[in-house]
């Protein structure tokens, strides 16, 4: 068994050594490419504007809910039991609706962010493939999967340049 493993390792290393002069490896930091590219910056700005607009609408609803709660707390001792119960039920319904709206908004925003990022990732993948073929790379890895590498094989800047030049030409 040990002999077989040793032979396999020896064959593997000899094959890699023979092919070493033909292997060209690079890596890309996808998160950096997204955040530093013009398309990524535009998508982030657009997304932040959507978040701000949605939060403004929910903020008004939250303030109204807080105002009604404060008003209820002040008037509660003066109200009859059935009136107090009705107002309390109404407040609870509004609070539940607010929480539901907040959850729906968060889910919608996550979905929109995923769609925006997905579109950018598709374009980045095409560009990485083109850069890889043009510069004759054997393998291009994603930075988050690498523990250590020499920065000389980082193609992120090249990909960002190509991505930005395409965005300008559109």
**pLDDT tens column, 39-88:** 999 999 999 998 898 888 888 888 988 998 888 788 878 878 888 888 88
| CATH value at residue 135 | 3.30.910.20
In angstroms, the CA 106 to CA 102 distance is 6
13 falls within a domain: no
44 falls within a domain: yes
Q: Coil, helix or strand for 140?
A: strand
131 falls within a domain: yes
Q: Which helix (H) or strand (E) holds 26?
A: strand 25-28
Q: Looking at the 3D structure of the chain, how many domains does it have?
A: 1
Is the pTM above the cut of 0.85?
no
What letter does residue 79 receive in the DSSP assignment? S
Q: In this structure, are residues 34 and 127 in contact, taking their beta carbons and an 8 Å threshold?
A: no
At 13, the pLDDT band (50, 70, 90 cuts) reads: low
In angstroms, the CA 80 to CA 69 distance is 17
Q: Which helix (H) or strand (E) holds 75?
A: helix 38-75
At 129, the pLDDT band (50, 70, 90 cuts) reads: very high
Q: In this structure, are residues 24 and 148 in contact, taking their beta carbons and an 8 Å threshold?
A: no
132 falls within a domain: yes
What letter does residue 138 receive in the DSSP assignment? S
Domain of residue 97 covers: 18-169
In angstroms, the CA 35 to CA 33 distance is 6
3 falls within a domain: no
89 falls within a domain: yes
């Amino acid at each position: 068994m040990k002999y077989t493993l040793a032979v396999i390792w020896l064959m593997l290393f000899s094959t890699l050594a023979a092919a070493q002069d033909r292997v060209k490896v690079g890596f890309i930091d996808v998160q950096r490419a997204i955040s530093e590219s013009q398309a990524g910056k535009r998508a982030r700005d657009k997304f932040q504007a959507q978040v701000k607009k949605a939060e403004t609408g929910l903020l008004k609803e939250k303030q109204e809910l807080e105002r009604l709660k404060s008003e209820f707390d002040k008037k509660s001792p003066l109200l009859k039991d059935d009136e107090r119960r009705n107002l309390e039920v109404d407040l609870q319904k509004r609070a539940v609706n607010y929480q539901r709206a907040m959850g729906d908004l968060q889910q919608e925003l996550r979905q929109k962010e995923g769609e925006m990022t997905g579109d950018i990732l598709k374009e980045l993948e095409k560009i990485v493939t083109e850069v890889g073929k043009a510069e004759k790379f054997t393998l291009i890895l994603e930075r988050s999967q690498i523990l250590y590498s020499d920065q000389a094989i980082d193609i992120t800047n090249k990909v960002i340049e190509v991505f930005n030049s395409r965005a300008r030409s559109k």
